[in-house]
Structure 1
Amino acid sequence: MRISAVSIPGLAVVTADTAKDERGAFTRFYCGETFAAAGLGFTPMQVNLSRNPARHTLRGMHYQDPPRAEAKLVHVTRGAIYDVALDLRPTSATYCRWFGIRLDATSSAGIFIPEGFAHGYITLEPDSDVLYHMGRIFEPGFGKGVRWNDPTFAIDWPAHPAVISERDAHYPDYAGQDGPETAD
């Protein structure tokens, strides 16, 4: 497993090693020792799978404020997505900047997204499955979001969504908002 820093501090591309033989393949998506050695304090508490039958399904951009902020490790187990992490940490030098990456089932690459980021993706192929290792157990009622096409962020999506929830399509403009709450 290799962990590589990207242009926004805290984000990392996590490339899993896959062992292949006549039986098929075996991939380890998470190793606590490897994360600790890279300085990433992340321990999964919950694992989720998102199934997306249609191409160009958009999910996001979702986040939760402290003290319920969520770190996550995202991999694609079938199909392909364009994954986006958006820095909403008010004191960050990269506040309101985003990072996007193509993730697919054949590359074994994933992305680690720390607390304080909004996250979303658009499917690039039909029947795309996304595996999330979450650093916190989900608590209903605390989810927030920003609109996928908000001009404040100018995210360069590779396609226009064909499928999107009403909630995700209609978040208000972020400009002029106070931003996410910070922990005391």
Structure 2
Amino acid sequence: MPFKFETLSIPDVVLVEARAFPDERGFFMETFKQSEFVRGGIRRNFVQDNFSYSHKGTVRGLHYQLNPAAQGKLVACLHGEIYDVAVDLRKGSPTYGQWVGVILSAENRRMLWVPEGFAHGFQALSEGVMVWYKVTAEYNPATERGLRWDDPALGIDWPLRGEALLSPKDVVLPTLAELSEADNNFVYEVQM
């Protein structure tokens, strides 16, 4: 199997490792194969791919879209290294308000599956970071929301301390405690 799927401390968030096939020219690897992802428990249709370039210290996030335009994200770092974070926003979840973080890099070729109902963000740990991600819903500005990257109640242990490079929009995002009903319509559903 070309993919290995590892559930993290929040079981719905999955670390995906793709198998690379190296030779004297470099390497080849599959980054997505629907049948393999279904076998790995990720049964989603991806409808949009995104790509970003970031300078060292940049924090993008923590972002999400409300239902019915909620996005699941499959995230990979194509150049450099990032610390990728997912925060559970599903009301009633045993892990509500908890986060997981992993290092994704061009070198380790790992990907992170962040399902719908989670805020997502990353910090660029090196200069010239290139991140690619597939999403399950198209971008919808009317349902776009976010959460403060440095919310003390979350206690995310970002590797690069101090000032982060943020977009003007991310600077004014609310904390988890400040989210209104209109800012979070996710509800935890027990998987059978």
TM-score (norm 2): 0.90
Q: Which structure 2 residues correspond to residues 104-123 of structure 1 after superposition, within 5 A?
A: 104-123=105-124
1:26 is matched with which residue? 28
Distance in 2 separating the partners of 1:177 and 1:106:
37
TM superposition shift of 1:176: 5.1
1:79 is matched with which residue? 80
Q: Does the CA-based 8 Å contact 1:55-1:162 persist in structure 2? A: no
Q: Root-mean-square deviation (CA), in Å?
A: 1.4
2:190 is matched with which residue? none
Query: Any gaps of 5 or more consecutive residues in structure 1?
Result: none
Q: Does the CA-based 8 Å contact 2:72-2:116 persist in structure 1? A: yes
Q: Does the CA-based 8 Å contact 1:57-1:161 persist in structure 2? A: no
Amino acid at match of 2:143: F
Q: How many residue pairs get matched?
A: 182
Moved over 4 A (4+): none
Q: Secondary structure, in 3 states, of the residue corresponding to 1:36?
A: helix
Query: What percentage of aligned pairs have identical amino acids?
Result: 37
Distance in 1 separating the partners of 2:138 and 2:108:
28
Cα pair distance change 1:182/1:89, threshold 3 Å? closer
Query: Any gaps of 5 or more consecutive residues in structure 2?
Result: 188-192
Q: Secondary structure, in 3 states, of the residue corresponding to 1:155?
A: coil
TM-score (norm 1): 0.93
Q: Secondary structure, in 3 states, of the residue corresponding to 2:35?
A: helix
Q: For residues 83-121 of structure 1, what are the alpha-carbon distances to aligned partners after superposition, in whole Å with 9 as ceiling and x for unaligned?
A: 100000112110000000111101111100000000000
Q: Which structure 2 residues correspond to residues 17-166 of structure 1 after superposition, within 5 A?
A: 17-52=19-54, 54-159=55-160, 160-166=162-168
Q: For residues 16-48 of structure 1, what are the alpha-carbon distances to aligned partners after superposition, in whole Å with 9 as ceiling and x for unaligned?
A: 111111222112111111111122212221111
Q: Aligned to 1:181, which of 165, 185, 189?
A: 185
Distance in 1 separating the partners of 2:175 and 2:78:
33
